[in-house]
Amino acid sequence: MDERIRTAVAGVEAYIVGGAVRDELLGRDVVDVDVATGDPEVAARIYAGVTKGALFPLSERHGAWRVAFDDGRTVDFTPLRGTIEEDLRTRDFTINAIAQPAAGGELIDPLGGANDLAARTLRAVGPTVFEDDPLRLLRAVRLEEELGLRLDEETERLVREHAASVTRPAGERILGELERLTPLGFERADALGLLEPLGGSPSRLQAVDLVDSPGYLLVVVFGERLFELPISNEQKRFAKTLLAAERPEPSPRAIYRFRKATEPWALTALAFLGATDLYDAVRAARTAEGVPLLSGDDILALGVEPGPEVGRLLDLVGEEQAAGTISTKEEALELVRREFRNAT
Domains and their CATH numbers in the chain: 1-112 (3.30.460.10), 240-276 (no CATH), 296-343 (no CATH)
| pLDDT higher than 80, residue 327 | no
| Residue-level pLDDT at 60 | 67
Q: Do the Cβ atoms of 150 and 121 come closer than 8 Å?
A: yes
On the question of pLDDT at 129 being above 80, the answer is yes
Give tens-digit pLDDT for 135-164: 999 999 999 999 999 999 999 999 999 999
pLDDT score of 343: 66
pTM of the predicted structure, to 2 decimals: 0.85
Q: Is residue 110 reached through a cis peptide bond, with omega within 30 degrees of 0 on the bond before it?
A: no
Give the Cα separation of 11 and 49 in Å (integer). Answer: 18
**Residue of 313, 311, 251 whose CA lies nearest to 285:** 251
* pLDDT tens digits, one per residue of 222-270: 999 999 999 999 999 999 999 999 999 999 999 999 999 999 999 999 9
For range 81-100, the mean pLDDT: 95
The string over 318-339, giving b where at least 16 C-beta atoms fall within 10 Å of a residue's C-beta and e elsewhere, is bbbbbeeebeeeeebbebbeeb
CA–CA distance from 108 to each of 93, 115, 205, 341 (Å)?
A: 15, 13, 42, 84
Task: Give the phi and the psi of residue 262 in degrees, each rounded to 5.
Answer: -125, -15
